[in-house]
Amino acid sequence: MKKQSQPGNDPIFTNKRVVVAEDNRMNQKVLCLQLSRFGIEPEIVTSGRELIQRVEHGTHLDLIIMDLRMPELNGLQATLYLHDQLKSAIPIIGMTASGLDSDRRKCIECGMDGFLAKPFPPGALLKVLQEFLDDEGTDPSGSCQDTCDQTCDKLYDLSGLVELQEPGFVAEILIGFLTNVPIVLEEIRLSSICEQWEEVFGRAHQLKTSAGLLQMTYLIGQLNEIEQLSFQKDYHKIVETVKFLEEWFRGQEALLEQEIKKSLLSPK
């Protein structure tokens, strides 16, 4: 495989066929933009069942990047079917916004070849591409440095999105986030009152995916805590955490609104 280069000396993976299995539209676009940086225009499927149908058609694929939580068949179920029923040897990389070690173990146990924890910087994605697509066996540490800064003390970090050079898309993500946070937090509260623990986990995970796009480390940590509390069925602590996050979020809205204005005014 001959490599070419583009600004920043990022390698181009030519003639490689990659399928992204992801049902979240924002995540789809972010990953497609990241892959396009490396010369890959992926196909998109939105469920495990759709992915299986795609593989059954017999077209050659070089790599599957698949979210663990999808409708119809989730990523783990789809992987097991591909291996056990279709005898597929296509490399599969799992993705999830969960930081749980148990998710990593499940990926390996079901036969996935790797794991990416969302949000992941371009450098982490590049290492995966080089491991599974690079015919020349390039050292993954060479071409692209991991640009993930230490963000634990920051409210958010938009650098990964800004790198995509799509200011309108950044504004779209921020507007959606500002709209959805109060709604999802209320849904978590009501679901916990009704003892719908799977719903509590699902809503927290949904919001964590959005927070991951903005690299909101603190919020992600609080949502991880709610996920754990849903397993413990701890209604009181969940409601207490939600109340705290609602107050915390009201204090951050003005900053995020300023970021929206900056993004809309940025040259395309």
Domain ranges of the chain: 5-133, 159-265
For residue 64, pLDDT over 90 is answered with yes
Q: Which bin fits 215, alpha (ψ -120 to 50), beta or left (φ > 0)?
A: left
Please name the fold of domain 5-133.
Rossmann fold (3.40.50)
Q: What is the mean pLDDT of the chain?
A: 83
Please give the average per-residue pLDDT across 63-90, as a whole number: 92
Fold match between domain 5-133 and domain 159-265: no
Q: Which residue has the higher pLDDT, 158 or 194?
A: 194
CB atoms near residue 177 (< 10 Å): 22
Q: Which residue has the higher pLDDT, 142 or 126?
A: 126
Residue 47 neighbours by CB under 8 Å, 6+ apart:
21, 23, 70, 71, 72, 73
For residue 144, pLDDT over 70 is answered with no
Rounded to 10 degrees, the C-alpha dihedral 38/41/44/48 comes to: -60
Q: Which residue has the higher pLDDT, 234 or 165?
A: 234
The rounded percent of the chain whose pLDDT value lies above 90 is: 44
For residue 5, pLDDT over 50 is answered with no
Domain 159-265, CATH: 1.20.120
Range of weakest confidence among 73-77, 102-106, 169-173, 254-258: 102-106
Q: Please tell me whether the overall predicted TM-score, pTM, comes out greater than 0.75 for this model.
A: no
The counts of H helices and E strands in the chain are 11, 7
Q: Which amino acid is at 11?
A: P
Backbone angles phi, psi at 120, to 5 degrees: -120, 140
Range of weakest confidence among 25-29, 140-144, 248-252, 263-267: 140-144
Q: Say what the pLDDT of residue 119 is.
A: 75
The rounded percent of the chain whose pLDDT value lies above 70 is: 87
Which is nearest to 113 in space by CA: 69, 64, 67?
Answer: 64
Segment 188-246, tens digit of pLDDT: 999 999 999 999 998 998 898 888 888 888 898 899 899 999 999 999 999 999 999 99
Please give the average per-residue pLDDT across 41-58, as a whole number: 91
Q: Say what the pLDDT of residue 140 is.
A: 41
Alpha carbon separation from 67 to 91, 113, 213, 217, 233 (Å, rounded): 14, 13, 15, 20, 26
